Amino acid sequence: MTHQIPNEEQSNKTEMPIGVDVIIAAVKTLPSSPGVYRMLDCEGTILYVGKARSLKKRVTNYTRVDKQSARIARMIMQTASMEFVHTETETEALLLEANMIKSFRPRYNILLRDDKSFPYILIAEDHPSPQILKHRGARKRKGQYFGPFASASAVNKTINALQRAFLIRSCSDSVYEGRSRPCLLYQIKRCAGPCTDEITREDYQLLVKESYDFLRGKSDNLKESLRERMVEASDRLDFETAAKYRDRLGAVNAIQSQQDINARSFSDGDIFACFKSGGQSCIQVFFFRMGQNWGNRAYYPKADSGDSEAAILGAFIGQFYDDKPAPANVILSHSIEEQALLSEALTMRMQHKVQISTPQRGEKKEIVLHALRNAEEALIRKLSENKSTQKLLADLANLFELDAPPKRIEVYDNSHIQGNAAVGGMVVAGANGFLKGHYRKFNIKDTDLTPGDDFGMMKEVLSRRLSRLIKEYGDNTGALSPKDQEPIWPDLLLIDGGKGQLSAVQEIFDELGIDNIALVAISKGPDRNAGREQFHITGKEAQMLPLNDPTLHYLQRLRDEAHRFAIGTHRAKRSKNLIKSPLDEIEGIGPTRKKALLSEFGTAKAVKQAGLDDLKRTPGISEEIAQRIYDYFHE
């Protein structure tokens, strides 16, 4: 149940009351039941989300501003209205609070910045010869999922090692069906070659079973079995088979030796260690599954400098597990408030016991200390990088005569092949480095452009980008992204090109009346040599920087990142166009009907040549759809 507390006498006043008065009015009608509350400002933007065992008691605390921290006091004074959601239990309120914080990303909550999904290893079982591959997202495909892993590189590394140890195929089903002889992976002993019957179906299934045993933590039994089979083959003088078992045994040992720490006292668990310094914090997360270390990842949550490690950890974990499975053990570097409540909430969600603990001795304590050292080192590196970046941004301001160091830099580049699959790319950088969540790609839509017209493409990209900024934010050039509180409007705009590109974009600036964004074009310079780039600014002579100037290297890095992103986007679009089927253009033909047609006729060309009666006989194709397909190819 959701309801909003209106401001008293709102209809009779031209100005709405804000601050403590709003909260006092809300308290009068609040029950003492559990729930979640939201504080909103005058524009309806959510400032803060919290949960309470008793809404009345918790919200009443906000009426005493002198008892609050400076940050919370600021939040109270900006509050123009409040919203409440009642729940049956405090546990439900805790889960709902975490979900709302992740959805709305309020300014005054501790926020988990990086919210990417974790990769898993999938051994797909929807084919007689199972396939091993990396997987993200919903688990819709039939098979066994193992994870999470800390990063895509950790998954790729593990898959490569598993292929050496268990020889499971990684090719797609379509490639598998089209093989007439073994591929290169078979030749280098990374695959058993089930596609061309180099191994029997039964023996391949045994390899798959052994991979399951290893990923489920039964490595000791597996190694003993491989060792016994190696000795048996050697005793009967079958040295080639013995060598295969030897190589597989070595690959299994190699996987285990790559792990810097291992857990013996628990099989499944996540380790969270928080370290604070310089007003910032880092949380290092280690993943253990089936007794194996599956990597670690550093997070830098958005928090107030006055928040303690325990407070940051408590807020972080609720958001972290909002859309991720929790293991049996969650081990922390600091004890958090409501630890038992969070454990109960995760247990309820996962339907298995989730224990949250802060170890004081033993192996778990050693692993926590190891994670804490990693968190400290990661934060020191980040603070050092930030300090270096701030110095570079200050140097940029001096170089381009800006009023202040830029908070947001947008860099643009185009990519195409003779006008085909033309795209524009925008990358964003700021004090925290590259902001990849803000990158954007632009499909060039203007059909009147001459193929390869770089000036026209850049004008289209910037016209669309800046027009949208004006439409959505108007004169509010200080607007912040609700996702991560980064600036929306750029201070500095860099484009890859020379005077022609600069003039094209300057026209857009003039048309839209934009004069508060610095515009710089970067060209290759004499002989197109790296390090001899020229920087063009409207109304000024082009300038060059010394070869070893750190500011030059920084600008090159920005330009190269935009180039990389644009080329990657172009290649993806070009690849999609190459595999595009004429069937995709027919209204009413989705993946299911397309599959039915290709299963019946083999190719899109055969569908084109088919008669109307043949189309009608295709399973899943109605008479109306058959007529539509026929008409499309026989206009």
Q: Is the pLDDT of residue 422 over 90?
A: no
The torsion region of residue 433 among left (phi > 0), alpha (psi -120 to 50) and beta comes to left
Q: How far apart are CA 318 and CA 297, in angstroms?
A: 17
Query: For residue 134, what are the CA distances in angstroms to 127, 151, 210?
Result: 16, 11, 19
Tell me what pLDDT residue 526 has: 62
Torsional sign, CA 254, 257, 260, 263: positive
Percent above pLDDT 70 for the chain:
91
The mean-pLDDT minimum among 254-263, 309-318, 385-394 falls in 254-263
> How close are the terminal C-alpha atoms of the chain, in Å?
56
pLDDT tens digit sequence for 88-112:
888 888 889 988 888 888 888 888 8
Tell me what pLDDT residue 47 has: 92
Classify domain 582-633 at the CATH class level. Answer: mainly alpha
Q: How far apart are CA 502 and CA 519, in angstroms?
A: 8
Task: Pick 265 or 327 by higher pLDDT.
Answer: 327
Task: Pick 383 or 526 by higher pLDDT.
Answer: 383
Closest to 346 measured CA to CA, from 317, 368, 304, 366 = 317
- CATH fold, domain 269-381, is Nucleotidyltransferase; domain 5 (3.30.420)
The pair of three-digit structure tokens given for residue 326, joined into one six-digit string: 């929790």
Q: How far apart are CA 619 and CA 613, in angstroms?
A: 12
- Average pLDDT of the segment spanning 348-362: 89
Tell me what pLDDT residue 576 has: 67
pLDDT band at 1 (very low <50, low <70, confident <90, very high): very low
- Average pLDDT of the segment spanning 599-611: 80
For the stretch 392-395, contacts whose Cβ atoms lie closer than 8 Å and that sit 24 or more positions apart, written own/partner, are 392/550, 392/551, 392/554, 393/431, 395/550, 395/551
Q: Is the pLDDT of residue 525 over 70?
A: no
Question: Mean pLDDT for the chain?
Answer: 83
pLDDT tens digit sequence for 278-335:
788 999 998 888 767 778 888 888 888 788 899 999 889 888 888 788 888 999 999 9
Q: Is the pLDDT of residue 427 over 90?
A: yes
Q: How far apart are CA 356 and CA 392, in angstroms?
A: 43
Question: Are the C-beta atoms of residues 286 and 367 closer than 8 Å to each other?
Answer: yes
Q: Residue 496: which residues within 8 A CB-CB, separation 6 or more?
A: 411, 412, 413, 414, 521, 522, 559, 562, 563
Q: Is the pLDDT of residue 354 over 50?
A: yes
**Which span out of 243-257, 519-533, 538-552, 585-599 was modeled with the highest average pLDDT?**
538-552
Q: How far apart are CA 11 and CA 404, in angstroms?
A: 44
In 130-262, at which residue ranges do the beta strands (DSSP E only) sit? 131-135, 143-146
How many helices (H) and strands (E) in the chain? 20, 19
DSSP secondary structure of 446-471: -TTSPTT-HHHHHHHHHHHHHHHHHH
DSSP secondary structure of 234-303: HHTT-HHHHHHHHHHHHHHHHHHHT-S---SS-SSEEEEEEEEETTEEEEEEEEEETTEEEEEEEE--B-
- Average pLDDT of the segment spanning 365-384: 88
**Per-residue b or e along 73-112, where b marks 16 or more CB atoms closer than 10 Å to that residue's CB:** eebbebbbbbbbbbbeebbbbbbbbbbbbbebbbbbbbbb
Q: Cβ–Cβ contacts within 10 Å for residue 414, how many?
A: 27
Question: Are the C-beta atoms of residues 21 and 79 closer than 8 Å to each other?
Answer: no
CATH 3.30.420.340 residue ranges of the chain are 400-576
Torsional sign, CA 189, 195, 196, 198: positive
CA dihedral 609, 612, 615, 621 (to 10 degrees): 140
CA dihedral 456, 457, 458, 459 (to 10 degrees): 50
Query: For residue 574, what are the CA distances in angstroms to 100, 350, 455?
Result: 39, 42, 21
pLDDT tens digit sequence for 175-219:
888 888 888 888 888 898 999 888 898 889 988 888 887 777 666
Q: Is the pLDDT of residue 496 over 60?
A: yes
Q: Is 135 helix (H, G, I), strand (E, B) or coil?
A: strand
Question: Are the C-beta atoms of residues 250 and 262 closer than 8 Å to each other?
Answer: no
Tell me what pLDDT residue 635 has: 64
Output phi, psi for 47, to 5 deg. -90, -35
The mean-pLDDT minimum among 25-29, 383-387, 543-547 falls in 383-387
Q: Is the pLDDT of residue 421 over 50?
A: yes
- Average pLDDT of the segment spanning 509-529: 82
- Average pLDDT of the segment spanning 574-603: 75
* Second CATH level (architecture) for the domain 400-576: 2-Layer Sandwich (3.30)
- Average pLDDT of the segment spanning 158-181: 84
Task: Pick 264 or 121 by higher pLDDT.
Answer: 121
* Second CATH level (architecture) for the domain 2-104: 3-Layer(aba) Sandwich (3.40)
CATH 3.40.1440.10 residue ranges of the chain are 2-104
Q: Is the pLDDT of residue 161 over 90?
A: no
pLDDT tens digit sequence for 114-139:
656 788 889 999 888 999 999 887 78
The mean-pLDDT minimum among 30-34, 233-237, 369-373, 462-466 falls in 233-237
The torsion region of residue 202 among left (phi > 0), alpha (psi -120 to 50) and beta comes to alpha
Tell me what pLDDT residue 418 has: 65
Q: Is the pLDDT of residue 633 over 70?
A: yes
The torsion region of residue 77 among left (phi > 0), alpha (psi -120 to 50) and beta comes to alpha
The pair of three-digit structure tokens given for residue 599, joined into one six-digit string: 């299963």
Assign 3-state DSSP to the chain and report helix, strand, coil percentages, each to 5. 45, 20, 35
- Average pLDDT of the segment spanning 532-547: 87
Task: Provide the β-strand partners of residue 280.
Answer: 277
Count of all residues that appear for the chain in the document: 635
Torsional sign, CA 338, 340, 346, 348: negative
Q: Is the pLDDT of residue 14 over 70?
A: no
- Average pLDDT of the segment spanning 365-389: 87
